[in-house]
Amino acid sequence: QVQLKESGPGLVQPSETLSLTCTVSGFSLTSNSVHWVRQPPGKGLEWMGIIRSGGSTDYNSALKSRLSISRDTSKSQVFLKMNSLQTEDTAIYYCTLNWEWWGQGVMVTVSS
Amino acid sequence: DVVLTQTPVSLLISLGGQASISCRSSQSLVHSNGNTYLHWYLQKPGQSPQLLIYQVSNRFSGIPDRFSGSGSGTDFTLKISRVEPEDLGVYYCLQRTHNPPTFGGGTKLELK
C-alpha cells in the first residue's frame, strides 16, 4: 500500500529556512518520482519541484534560487529545504508520487 | 508557462444531476511522444487532492464510471454524472506535458 507522509515545523520565522520531510512506504524511491506541491490557504496548487527516480532534480523557476530537494533512499525519505521564507510562503505543503498518490500535507505558517 | 483556464469557477448541482467542467490550455498539451498529459483531481474539504482521471480520459484506480474525461489539444472536459454528496469539493486540472507542470485555478462543486 502506497503511503506518503509529510512532516516538519508548523511555524517558521521570516527569513529562516524551512525543512520538510516526506516519508514514503509501499514503493521505491529509486523507481519513482516525487514532487512537492504547495497550496496557500484558500488558494490553488503550485508545483515546487521534483526528484526523479535517478536522483536528478528540477525546480519551479520562481523558487529555484531558494529551494533544494534531496532524498535518502535507505530511509525512504525525501527532503525539501527552502530558505529566506516570507509570509507568502505560508501554505500547506504536499508531496506526491508520480502525481498519483498524495500525502496528507503539512501546514506551514511563516510568522514572527 | 502553460496557463490552464477552468470554467466555471463554481458550480451548483442537485444530487443526482450532471456536472461539466472545462479546462482550456494556452498551448497544445500533446507531448512529442504523442501522449497528452492532462489530469483531473478532486480536493475534498480538508483533504489532499485525489487523482480522478489521467491522460485525458483514463479513470484512476477505484474511481467510479460516473467520472469521465474527454478532449484533445487545448480543450478538455470533465463530466460527473449522477452527482453524489462525496463528489463535492474543488476540481483541478493539471498539465505535465510541458515544464513546469501547472494547475488550473479550480472549480468548486456545491449542492444546489
Asked if the C-beta of B51 comes within 8 angstroms of chain A's C-beta atoms, the answer is: yes
pLDDT in tens, B61-110: 999 999 999 999 999 999 999 999 999 999 999 999 999 999 999 999 99
pLDDT tens digits, A82-95: 999 999 999 999 99
So what's the pLDDT on residue B7?
Answer: 97
What does the alpha-carbon distance between residue B47 and residue B70 come to, in Å, rounded to a whole number? Answer: 26
From residue A92, give the alpha-carbon distance in Å to each of B27, B56, B81: 29, 27, 31
Give residue A107's pLDDT.
Answer: 98
pLDDT per position as a tens digit, B1-53: 999 999 999 999 999 999 999 999 999 999 999 999 999 999 999 999 999 99
* DSSP secondary structure string for all residues of chain A: --EEEEE--SEE-TTS-EEEEEEEESS-TTSS-EEEEEE-TTS--EEEEEE-TTS-EEE-TTTTTTEEEEEEGGGTEEEEEE-S--GGG-EEEEEEETTTEE---EEEEE--
d(CA A90, CA A92): 7
pLDDT at site B9: 98
Residue at B49: amino acid letter = P
Nearest by CB to residue B92, choosing from A45, A58, A94, is A45
Instruction: Choose from A45, A69, A92, A104 for mutation: most chain B CBs within 10 A.
Output: A45
Report the pLDDT value the prediction gives residue B105, as an integer from 0 to 100.
Answer: 98
The Cα-based distances of A24 to A40, A98, A103, B43 in angstroms read 24, 13, 9, 21
Mean pLDDT value of segment A26-30: 94
Banded pLDDT at A70 (limits 50, 70, 90): very high
CA B77 to CA A13: how far, in whole Å? 42
